Structure 1
Amino acid sequence: MKVLFVTSEFADFTKAGGLGEVAASLPRALKRGGTDIRILLPAYPEVIAKAGTISIIASLPGRAEIEPCFLGEVRTPDGLILYLVLAPSLYQRGGTPYGGPHAGDWPDNDLRFARLALAAAEIAKGQCAGLAWKPNLLHVNDWPGGLAPAYLRWDGASLPTVFTIHNIAYQGVFNRDRLHGLGIPEAAFHMHGVEFYNRLSFLKAGVFYSDEVTTVSPTYAREITTEALGWGLHGLMQTIAADGRLVGILNGLDDSWDPSSDPQLPDHFDSQDLSGKRALANLVRTGLCLKPSDGPLFGIVSRLVHQKGLDMVSDVAEAIVQQGGQFAILGLGDPQTELLLGRLARGQHDHIAFLNGFNEAMARRILGASDFCLMPSRFEPCGLVQMQAQRYGALPIARATGGLADTIEDDATGFLFTECSAAGLHAACQRALRAYGDPVVFENMRRAAMCRRFSWSTAAEQYEALYRRSIGRPVSDTAALQRLRHSPSSELRAVA
């Protein structure tokens, strides 16, 4: 199979969240399984800086206000092929893939990501002058590529498309007066099209015009069909689920997350020898200016946004400190959340440390040092931190939502709570503290967590089965097909 994988992030070069990790790991797992998969990515400055030599292989036409551009090709050291959309006026800017160095999205994000989507459609149609390779399936990720399946349909192409929702809360919504500038037919501005409460939604376009829709965990696939977590698209998601076209496929964990060999950890350990973990905990406490302690260390590595529920942490932190607990917090995000956590740390500076920013090495060290990892998310499509934490022996204390519910075994490899409140979090923390007080129970739970495996090969098998089903080829992996058949789409279809 030949698959074009469209993404706005790729962790080797640039990432703003979990999408970057998925885009770097899933295609590699698919490639190992024999899929000819190639990645399409905007050529941001950091991408150009890290990519090395870029070969210009094709030119791409524009449409309406979308300017023409060139297509570059690079290969990673392990042989993964990336196509780069070279449009300097759109991408050669500082900041994140979505906004400038300061708060706020780029005002022309509609043009920036319509350019990405149009490039995907041109490659998919096999009309990219200078490029001999043509995919037989298009896999688009999140709203930045959402117009790609739509452009294909509007142009009369019938290439199978798969659209993956990583977080339905981010939809790429723009004013309806952008239709003509983006080359969108007026007839498409309809409930059965791109219209979303009298505005234009890139994510809805991707969902509506794709053949198959996936999301990043089975529980989240069910949740986005509900009014509470569907973010206004629950009706459309219910329809797609009833058609059997909505599948939840759990993300995996990169193999680099191994506490016995991680080069970012000054002390190594495994499930049978935890002495290195204890040494790392002492080192992290010293580095963060926390008082020496034999009590539990609660780690938080997170984007600091409302979704993550960190306001609940501020409500329970004092009680946990009084019971001997300490906190190591690392994150970057909303100014209000940063201010809240900063005040919390200043008020308990001997027991609560807050590092405002993100550093990969420090994230790994905090998880490696911690006894528990707090994730009181209001919703969590999949989550990677809870998988990383278990691998590093930090038992997650998390809300039973999305991928958290799918990857944490309550009272076995972590602690789940359902009530979205400080009281719910506090009760789960008390259960965790009781377990910590029983060394046999706690060490058994820690070892069970460290032995969990969240393999990308499992996800790749399910995606390959979905690709083959979309293309109309026989699915050779019976187990993968069975997993698809028992996905939330099957359950919802039965209910419908």
Structure 2
Amino acid sequence: MNNFLFVAAENDALANCKAGGMGDVVRDVPRQISERGDKVHVVVPSYSRLHHNGLFKTSLNFSLRGLSYTAELYEVKPKKEFSNIVHYVLHHPEIEAGDIAHIYHNDPEEPFYTDAIKYFIFCTGVAEAIKKGAFGNLDIIHLHDWHSSLLLFLREYHNSYKNLKSIRTVYSIHNLAIQGIRPFADNYSSLKNWFPEVPIDYKSLMDYRYQDCINLMAVGIRFADAVHTVSPSYKEDVLLPSSPPEFIGGEGLEKDLGKADNEWRLFGILNGCNYKNINQEEKGFIYRNTVKALFRWLQEESKKYKADFLAHTGEKIMDFVDNRPKFIASSVARLTEQKFYFFKRSPEAFVEILEKLKRVDGIFMLLGTGAPEYEELFRQLSYEHKNFVFTNGQSESLIDSIYLESDLYFMPSLFEPCGISQMLAMRNGNPCLVHHTGGLKDTVSHMKTGFSFDGNTYDEKIKSMLKGFDIALDVFSKDKPTWKKIQSAAKRKRFTWKKSVDNYYRDLYGFGNI
């Protein structure tokens, strides 16, 4: 039996411990590993809340900032029990919940200031727990994104954690754009302040653009035994330099990624999708679930500033209860530059899409929260356009209903390491219209399982996006046999975790063919 440790910032196997796709991966991959008879320990920060009702396992004593720190390791109950999987959280008072999904902090003045502190403490605590044998004798440590990469710094340079060198350590990149860059020194949230006893190897740790800083994403790429991007096409993308907005590639780390590739350490393996426990919502309740979500949010103090807008959305939805639209286009995503840059830069293109929908008695439903400027844009567009329903919040049942009842799922991501939304839409037989980039290339085929758009310049991409929307509406309205064929092909497509984890075992974990 192989013994694994997963270290991450998110784990959707636990309630309220997910902000994005990483949480899904950290939930699903251990389940696949456990089905093979191997053992998995999964550890995430407690964020001052997840340890409540947990089972205390051990105290962890270590040194940071020249001071003695004590953290606590708790075993916690997951949403669903699986044999051979044990879930833990690491608690320390300074690892607090942030404003993004009660996980990450948003520090606009000095990015990663608070999060770096949290994950410095978390990773050192995990290193101490490994040293203490809290997870048994480990064969593989699997790290996820920059939040856990500090373990590789500790393995390489910290005298107390040289024992980590004997354990194969794998690093998964979920979002290369978020890199965890912090100063080496002269700042409370700096490497030197937290690890004064560790000599700094500036050349091996520095960010190429900000040479007085450590780049924690780069640390993961430079020091892991195997590096993993979450789709094959995204692997090809990140080996090339970025040229935004036309192309988002290696984001300044293409040299490191190219080196890892030349050393046969870089692998592109497509994420899987969970095909169990789906469609919990019944068809026909999309508007009722919208109203229920709006009513709930109206009771929340934190949503008071949105009360007028929530009431406006409710009125709009009530019109559709009796006069059901003939076509629903939808998007569910965090409102960020990655997901909706095209709409933010070219709102007139989005308005044109709404006009096209109007001609077929269609509506566009968008659900999400995120960057204030994106929320503001979509709220304004909702006031101006009757057939645009912007649900500015989060609701699992409404998300389920949107995936279940949409006719076309729209994913115009500027870049996409893998993407889970298109897989969730396709498993319900919903064709997707996607930007031909990253993992979206690997999952959606134009006119076969959905529709895609692309272009060499920004203007070409916008033209292609509008043309792609026209094609989708034309097929839906005028060629039902082809539409049904695309729907069936989308529904038949299977991106299974079994296939992905077979590749993990062979390429990432180094167990050879199984």
What's the TM-score bracket when you normalise by the shorter of the two chains?
0.7 to 0.9
Question: What is residue 273 of structure 1 aligned with on the other side?
Answer: none
Q: Does 1:87 align with 2:86?
A: no
Question: What is residue 481 of structure 1 aligned with on the other side?
Answer: none
Equivalent residue runs for 1:160-199 within 5 Å = 160-177=168-185, 178-183=190-195, 185-190=198-203, 192-196=204-208, 197-198=210-211, 199=213
Amino acid at match of 1:181: N
* SS in structure 1 at match of 2:330: strand
Amino acid at match of 1:220: Y
Q: CA 1:290 to 1:202, structure 2 compared with 1: closer, same or farther past 3 Å? A: farther
Question: What is residue 435 of structure 1 aligned with on the other side?
Answer: 475
Q: Does 1:334 align with 2:371?
A: yes
Question: What is residue 423 of structure 1 aligned with on the other side?
Answer: 463
* SS in structure 1 at match of 2:4: strand
Question: What is residue 240 of structure 2 aligned with on the other side?
Answer: 226
Q: Give the Å deviation of 1:317.
A: 2.5
* SS in structure 1 at match of 2:151: helix
Question: What is residue 493 of structure 2 aligned with on the other side?
Answer: 452
Q: Which runs of 5+ in 1 are unaligned?
A: 268-278, 478-496
Q: CA 1:257 to 1:323, structure 2 compared with 1: closer, same or farther past 3 Å? A: farther
The alignment's TM-score, normalised by the length of structure 2, stands at: 0.82
Q: Does 1:78 align with 2:82?
A: yes
Cα deviation per residue 1:367-415 (whole Å; 9 max; x = unaligned)? Answer: 2111001101110111100000111222110001111111112111110
Question: What is residue 264 of structure 2 aligned with on the other side?
Answer: 244
Question: What is residue 428 of structure 2 aligned with on the other side?
Answer: 392
Q: CA 1:406 to 1:231, structure 2 compared with 1: closer, same or farther past 3 Å? A: same
CA contact (8 A) 1:98 1:106 kept: no
CA distance, structure 1, for counterparts of residue 274 and residue 82 of structure 2: 15
Q: Give the Å deviation of 1:426.
A: 0.4
Cα deviation per residue 1:51-102 (whole Å; 9 max; x = unaligned)? Answer: x332223424233367331222234333421222110232366762111799
CA distance, structure 2, for counterparts of residue 364 and residue 290 of structure 1: 21
Q: Does 1:22 align with 2:39?
A: no
Q: CA 1:56 to 1:281, structure 2 compared with 1: closer, same or farther past 3 Å? A: closer
Cα deviation per residue 1:14-66 (whole Å; 9 max; x = unaligned)? Answer: 111111111111111111122211111101244234xx332223424233367
Cα deviation per residue 1:130-176 (whole Å; 9 max; x = unaligned)? Answer: x3612122110001011111211214333211100001000011122
Q: Which runs of 5+ in 2 are unaligned?
A: 243-248, 292-313
Amino acid at match of 2:374: T
CA distance, structure 1, for counterparts of residue 471 and residue 199 of structure 2: 57
CA distance, structure 2, for counterparts of residue 423 and residue 23 of structure 1: 38
CA contact (8 A) 1:316 1:422 kept: no
Equivalent residue runs for 1:43-82 within 5 Å = 43-49=46-52, 52-64=53-65, 67-76=69-78, 77-79=81-83, 80-82=85-87
CA distance, structure 2, for counterparts of residue 284 and residue 321 of structure 1: 22
CA contact (8 A) 2:97 2:105 kept: no
Question: What is residue 465 of structure 1 aligned with on the other side?
Answer: 506
Q: Give the Å deviation of 1:425.
A: 1.1
Q: CA 1:75 to 1:23, structure 2 compared with 1: closer, same or farther past 3 Å? A: same
Q: Does 1:255 align with 2:292?
A: no
Aligned residues: 451
Q: CA 1:170 to 1:468, structure 2 compared with 1: closer, same or farther past 3 Å? A: closer
Q: Does 1:368 align with 2:384?
A: no
CA contact (8 A) 2:205 2:214 kept: no
CA contact (8 A) 2:331 2:366 kept: yes
The alignment's TM-score, normalised by the length of structure 1, stands at: 0.85
Amino acid at match of 2:391: L
Q: Give the Å deviation of 1:121.
A: 2.7
CA distance, structure 1, for counterparts of residue 497 and residue 93 of structure 2: 34
CA contact (8 A) 2:48 2:92 kept: no
Equivalent residue runs for 1:305-384 within 5 Å = 305-309=336-340, 310-311=343-344, 312=346, 314-324=350-360, 325-349=362-386, 351-384=387-420
Question: What is residue 274 of structure 1 aligned with on the other side?
Answer: none
Question: What is residue 301 of structure 1 aligned with on the other side?
Answer: 332
Q: CA 1:104 to 1:283, structure 2 compared with 1: closer, same or farther past 3 Å? A: farther
Q: Give the Å deviation of 1:247.
A: 0.5
Amino acid at match of 2:282: P
* SS in structure 1 at match of 2:334: strand
Amino acid at match of 1:300: S
CA distance, structure 1, for counterparts of residue 82 and residue 290 of structure 2: 37
Moved more, 284-293 or 198-207: 284-293
* SS in structure 2 at match of 1:332: coil
* SS in structure 2 at match of 1:434: helix
Q: CA 1:298 to 1:113, structure 2 compared with 1: closer, same or farther past 3 Å? A: same
CA distance, structure 1, for counterparts of residue 232 and residue 74 of structure 2: 36
Quick one: which of 37, 40, 62 aligns to 1:37? 40
Cα deviation per residue 1:95-116 (whole Å; 9 max; x = unaligned)? Answer: 6211179999673322210122
* SS in structure 2 at match of 1:326: strand
Q: CA 1:106 to 1:214, structure 2 compared with 1: closer, same or farther past 3 Å? A: closer
Amino acid at match of 1:69: A
Identity value in percent: 24
* SS in structure 2 at match of 1:140: strand
Q: Give the Å deviation of 1:435.
A: 1.2
Q: Give the Å deviation of 1:301.
A: 0.5
Amino acid at match of 1:56: K
Q: Give the Å deviation of 1:219.
A: 0.6
Q: Does 1:143 align with 2:143?
A: no
CA distance, structure 1, for counterparts of residue 30 and residue 192 of structure 2: 34
Question: What is residue 9 of structure 1 aligned with on the other side?
Answer: 10
Q: CA 1:222 to 1:100, structure 2 compared with 1: closer, same or farther past 3 Å? A: closer
CA distance, structure 1, for counterparts of residue 72 and residue 136 of structure 2: 16
CA distance, structure 1, for counterparts of residue 202 and residue 319 of structure 2: 56
* SS in structure 2 at match of 1:453: coil
CA contact (8 A) 1:300 1:329 kept: yes
CA distance, structure 1, for counterparts of residue 287 and residue 120 of structure 2: 49
Moved more, 242-251 or 65-74: 65-74
CA distance, structure 2, for counterparts of residue 362 and residue 90 of structure 1: 31
Cα deviation per residue 1:239-263 (whole Å; 9 max; x = unaligned)? Answer: 111221111111111234633xx2x
Give me the CA root mean square deviation: 2.5
